[in-house]
Structure formats: C-alpha cells, structure tokens
Amino acid sequence: MTNIPINKPYADSGEEALVLDAVKTGHGEHRNKYLDRFEQEFASFTGAALAHCTSSCTGAIHLALAAMGVGPGDEVIVPEITWIASVEPVLYLGAKPIFVDVLPDSWCIDPKSVEQAISPKTKAIIAVHVYGNLCDMETLLQIAEKHHISILEDAAEGIGSYRKGKHAGSMGTAGTFSFHGTKTISTGEGGMVIASDPEFMHKLRVLNDHGRDPKDPEAKMYWMRQYGFKYRMSNTQAALGVAQLSKISELVQKKRDIFLSYQQELNNLPLHWNPEEEGDQNGYWLPTFVVDSQHSFNREQLFQAMNANNIEARPFFYPLSSLPMFQSRPENKVAYGIFDRGVNLPSFHEISPNEIDRVCQTIRNFFHG
C-alpha cells in the first residue's frame, strides 16, 4: 500500500531549467537576477506595491515586526490557533505576546477579543490566515486605525486566498508568506514580505542587510549605523520561486479541487470544514475539518486508523497558550474547545482520485465503525 503524504512540492522541467540557469549564471552582476524578478512578480500577483524575499516566513515576520518598531516592553496580539512561528519573533524582539480567542467558523483571530486585549502597550496585531481561511480584515483594520497600531498579516498559509478581491497579506501594514516545501508554492525553504509603504520597506531591507543603509550619507564599506539581521533568500531559491509562480493559478485551483472532493465525499459526516464566505476565495492550503462538538470523537484513534492505511494526517494546531513555555489561557474558549477535534488532510498537488477515495473511506469507516 503506497504512502499518502500530507503535502509535498510540485515541480516539472520549468523549475529545472530556471534553477540550472541560476546556478550557472546567477552570480557577480547577475547575483540578484531571480531575486529581483521573484519580488516583482510576487508583488504583482498579490497586488502589493513592494515585496522582499527572505529565507523563511519566520524571518519575514521578525523583520516586519522589527520594521514596525516592536521591541522590549511592547505587546503584540496573537491568535491562539496558529503555528508557533507566528509568535516566536515577538519573543525574539523582547515583546510580550497577548493570546486571544478565535472565531468558531473561520478559526481565525476574533476581532472582539482583539479589541478587549488592547492596552497602552499594544504595538501590533498579527492576523493569521490559518489553513488558507481568511481573517475579518475589515473589522481588524478599523480597530487598528482607531488605536493607531499596526497589523501584520501572517499569510504563510494564505497563498491563493482573497478577501473581497484582495489577496491575503495585502491589506495590513505588511504581509508575510511561506515557501516551505509543504506550501502551495515552494522554494524548499523561503519567505516573502509585502507592503505598500516605501519607507517601511526600505527600513525592512536595511534590517535584512546587517543594518547597512545605502541612503546613509556616512555609509561606507563595512560600516553601518545599526546592527540588523540576515534572512536573505538565495538567487537559486528565487529561480525556483519564479518557476512556481508561473503556474500559481493551476496550483491553487488544484488545491481547491482537492478540498471540494473531500467535502463532497464526506458531506454526510458531522464535520465543519474550511469556510469560504460569499465574495471570498479560499486557497485551501490544507483541507481541514473540526468534528461537531455534539459528536463523540477520539482524534488519536482516527490517526491510528489513518496510519494503518499509510495515510499521513495532521492535528489541528494546539492553542499556543497551552504550550509549556506560556501561561495557559483557557478563557479563550473557542480555541480550547476545538483544537482536539480538528484534523488536516493530505492535499499534495498530485494526489489521485483513488488516493482521495482511500482517505475518505478510512474516515467513513472510522465514524461508522
């Protein structure tokens, strides 16, 4: 019985050709050839004015928060349901993460909980488009404007997701993306920051070049006014990104087709799926269901059944405040009430109809057994 992985990259001869060209020619005066192109084409795809490649989405979040001025003594509001990479950069900068609840339908950050958590120390909100689902950006932007704070959209999982015609990541102060090998498009590892404010992006680029500022009148080789970071993407990775981006419509549509197949085949089970509001488009990075709270469900037993059929599935994210390094916040009742009833299903681009059937049959057998 063949293994069905949760996700893996898709690549063909187009990727091979550009990566080989980057290896052979992407040095010296051409060292940024594909980096520049990837940034320009990704900005165009997302509708952003500017984009900057990074070595990971974690690095992108770190740079963006630093460029927003987040530092020691500040507070940053973060949703409970997200991967820990959304919050680690807050800690890198010496700030304090404030965990708030999520909405029961989208599993994204709850704007009411955000407003209740704002204090004089609040510097930023991180809005995570979890699993490709979309945050209520209109309400969050109103809150941010009212309190004069920044919004960072963590769109690591949101490639191909649109909120009222605007791509995930393009609505806040900045947006960040991941090109990890499990994502809809991949450079193996890698990330991107997008923004519309040239001054913000200049500050971010300086931070990502060890603090070297070409606009500083006193700047000279090996001299800089501040220290920075190095989250640079390689030109070779960017070549892979350019090739992946050239087929982005096809890759997103495949994700959507996979999700709809699961939803249709399992429509008679007590499951709540990734939502898609009218006027939105969900890129459905990971098809995810949460079992109805009125239905008895043991997730570990389902995983055992999946493993027995060589199917890789993943658990829904734990509430971040439930992890040992943080103080538990069980008052965030939605997050604490859904995490152990949520499951992510395989959605790699080349999954076959027979493999989807095998996943669905395993789930049906579990619920009806």
pLDDT tens digits along 178-195: 999 999 999 999 999 999
Alpha-carbon distances, residue 76 vs 108, 158, 204 (angstroms) = 16, 21, 18
Determine the straight-line distance between the first and last CA of the chain, rounded to whole angstroms. Answer: 22
Residues ≥6 apart with Cβ < 8 Å to 275: 105, 106, 133, 282
Residue 188 bridge partners (DSSP): 180
Collect the ranges in the chain with pLDDT lower than 70. none
pTM: 0.96
CA neighbours within 13 Å on the CB side: how many for 296?
4
Give the tokens for residue 76.
């940053």
Position 218 scores a pLDDT of: 81
Rounded Cα gap, residues 278 and 229, in angstroms: 41
Give domain limits for the chain: 13-245, 248-368
Rounded Cα gap, residues 108 and 86, in angstroms: 13
3-state secondary structure of 308: helix
pLDDT tens digits along 245-303: 999 999 999 999 999 999 999 999 999 999 999 999 999 999 999 999 999 999 999 99
Domain topology for 248-368? Aspartate Aminotransferase, domain 1 (3.90.1150)
Active site residues: 183
Position 225 scores a pLDDT of: 86
Position 220 scores a pLDDT of: 80
Rounded Cα gap, residues 212 and 219, in angstroms: 8
Position 178 scores a pLDDT of: 98
DSSP assignment string, 11-44: --HHHHHHHHHHHHH-SGGGTTHHHHHHHHHHHH
Q: In the CATH hierarchy, which top-level class contains the domain 13-245?
A: alpha beta
Position 343 scores a pLDDT of: 98
